[in-house]
Structure 1
Amino acid sequence: MIQFQNEHMKVFQSVLYQTTSVVIQTEKAIIVTDPNWLPSEVETIKAYIEKNLGTRQLYIIYTHSDFDHIIAAGAFPYALTIASEAFVNRADQETMLEEIRNFDAQYYVTRDYPVHYPEIDIVICEDGQQVMLGDTLCRFYFAPGHTDDGVFTIVEPLGIFLAGDYLSDVEFPFISDYEAYVATLEKAQQLVERFDVRVLVPGHGQTTTQRHELETRIAESQRYLLDLKQGIDQEQMLTKRYPYYRSLKDMHEANKKAL
Structure 2
Amino acid sequence: MSMQSYLNEQVTIFQSSLYQTTSTVIETQTAVFVIDPNWLPIEVEKIQTFVENCRQGKKLFLIFTHSDFDHILGANAFEGAIVISTQELKDHPKKQNILQEIKDFDSSYYLERPYSVSFPEVDIVVQEDGETLEEDEVTLSFFKAPGHTHDGLITVIEPLGVLVAGDYLSDVEFPFIFDSVSSYIKTLHTFEYIINQYEIKVLVPGHGNPTNDLDSIQYRIDTSKKYVQGLLNNEPLVEWLKQEYPFYEGMKEEHEQNIKKVKEENYC
Q: What TM-score comes out, normalization by structure 1 length?
A: 0.98
Kindly report structure 1 stretches of 4+ aligned residues shifted beyond 3 Å: none
Q: Which residue of 2 aligns with 1:149?
A: 151
| In structure 2, C-alpha distance between the alignment counterparts of 1:4 and 1:258, rounded to whole Å | 38
Deviation at residue 77 of structure 1 after TM alignment? 2.1
Tell me the matched-pair count: 259
Q: 1:244 aligns with which of 243, 247, 260?
A: 247
1:14 is aligned to 2:16: yes
User: Secondary structure of the residue that 2:240 maps to in structure 1?
Assistant: helix
Q: Which residue of 2 aligns with 1:186?
A: 189
Q: 2:115 aligns with which of 113, 117, 122?
A: 113
| In structure 2, C-alpha distance between the alignment counterparts of 1:126 and 1:233, rounded to whole Å | 37
Q: Structure 2 unaligned runs (5+)?
A: 263-268
Counterpart amino acid of residue 255 in structure 1: N
Q: 1:195 aligns with which of 198, 202, 217?
A: 198
User: Secondary structure of the residue that 2:239 maps to in structure 1?
Assistant: helix
1:91 is aligned to 2:84: no
Q: What is the identity percentage for the equivalent residue pairs of Structure 1 and Structure 2? A: 43
| In structure 2, C-alpha distance between the alignment counterparts of 1:77 and 1:56, rounded to whole Å | 13
Deviation at residue 61 of structure 1 after TM alignment? 0.5
Q: What per-residue deviation string (whole Å, max 9, x for no partner) do you get for residues 70-100 of structure 1?
A: 0111111211110000000001000100000
Q: Which residue of 1 aligns with 2:261?
A: 258
1:12-161 paired onto structure 2 within 5 Å: 12-161=14-163
Asked whether the equivalents of residues 4 and 207 of structure 1 are also in contact (C-alpha less than 8 Å), the reply is: no
Counterpart amino acid of residue 199 in structure 1: V
1:215 is aligned to 2:218: yes
Deviation at residue 206 of structure 1 after TM alignment? 0.3
Structure 1 residues 90 and 45, CA gap change in structure 2 (3 angstroms) = same
Q: What per-residue deviation string (whole Å, max 9, x for no partner) do you get for residues 86-134 of structure 1?
A: 0000010001000000000000000010010010110101111111245
Counterpart amino acid of residue 8 in structure 2: N
| In structure 1, C-alpha distance between the alignment counterparts of 2:234 and 2:188, rounded to whole Å | 20
Q: Which residue of 2 aligns with 1:229?
A: 232
Deviation at residue 8 of structure 1 after TM alignment? 1.8
* Greater displacement, 98-107 / 123-132: 123-132
Counterpart amino acid of residue 229 in structure 1: L
User: Secondary structure of the residue that 1:214 maps to in structure 2?
Assistant: helix
Structure 1 residues 94 and 134, CA gap change in structure 2 (3 angstroms) = farther
| In structure 2, C-alpha distance between the alignment counterparts of 1:81 and 1:132, rounded to whole Å | 15
Deviation at residue 4 of structure 1 after TM alignment? 4.7
User: Secondary structure of the residue that 1:24 maps to in structure 2?
Assistant: strand
Counterpart amino acid of residue 240 in structure 1: Q
Counterpart amino acid of residue 185 in structure 1: L
Structure 1 residues 3 and 243, CA gap change in structure 2 (3 angstroms) = farther
Across the aligned residues of Structure 1 and Structure 2, the Cα RMSD in angstroms comes to 0.9
Counterpart amino acid of residue 201 in structure 2: R
| In structure 1, C-alpha distance between the alignment counterparts of 2:28 and 2:201, rounded to whole Å | 17
Q: What TM-score comes out, normalization by structure 2 length?
A: 0.95
| In structure 2, C-alpha distance between the alignment counterparts of 1:134 and 1:246, rounded to whole Å | 45
